[in-house]
């Protein structure tokens, strides 16, 4: 049994492992999503402002069909660990591959709806 205050002879591995265990799961997931966005060469949602062109990468948290003015609209919440953006495809009831839990990259001009970022009809690429 190690003495209280004794150093771990395995270096900092134990300390890192304990630190990871003490970190809330949501924080770990957010950090991993931010890393994924960086690896994809994309900006973070939190770093973008209204009316800027954006290339964002993240995970779809939810996908819903919500008509707007009698026109079908597929809405999805894209999260990248720094924030989320509502992605809306007008005139679409369904898009193959757009499902909760799927990673994708979107390209378009950010807007704002009720103070929250939104992308209408973005170009998109599904991730493997």
Side-chain-facing half-sphere of 72: CA atoms under 13 Å: 8
| Structural domains in the chain plus CATH codes | 13-126 (2.40.50.140)
Distance, CA of 128 to CA of 107 (rounded, Å): 18
Q: How confident is the model at residue 104 (pLDDT cuts 50, 70, 90)?
A: very high
Query: Over the stretch 13-64, which tens digit does the pLDDT of each residue have?
Result: 666 655 655 567 778 899 999 999 999 999 999 999 999 999 999 999 999 9
Side-chain-facing half-sphere of 31: CA atoms under 13 Å: 7
């Amino acid at each position: 049994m190690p003495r209280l205050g004794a150093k771990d002879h395995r270096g900092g591995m134990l300390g890192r492992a304990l630190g990871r265990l003490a970190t809330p799961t949501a924080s770990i997931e957010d950090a991993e999503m931010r890393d994924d966005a960086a690896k994809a060469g994309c900006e973070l949602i939190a770093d973008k402002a209204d009316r800027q062109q954006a290339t964002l990468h993240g995970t779809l948290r939810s996908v819903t069909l919500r008509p707007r003015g009698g026109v079908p609209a597929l809405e999805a919440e894209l999260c990248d660990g720094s924030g989320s953006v509502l992605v809306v495809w007008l005139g679409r009831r369904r898009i193959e591959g757009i499902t909760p839990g799927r990673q994708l990259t979107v390209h378009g001009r950010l807007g704002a709806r009720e103070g929250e970022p939104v992308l209408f009809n973005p170009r998109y690429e599904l991730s493997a």
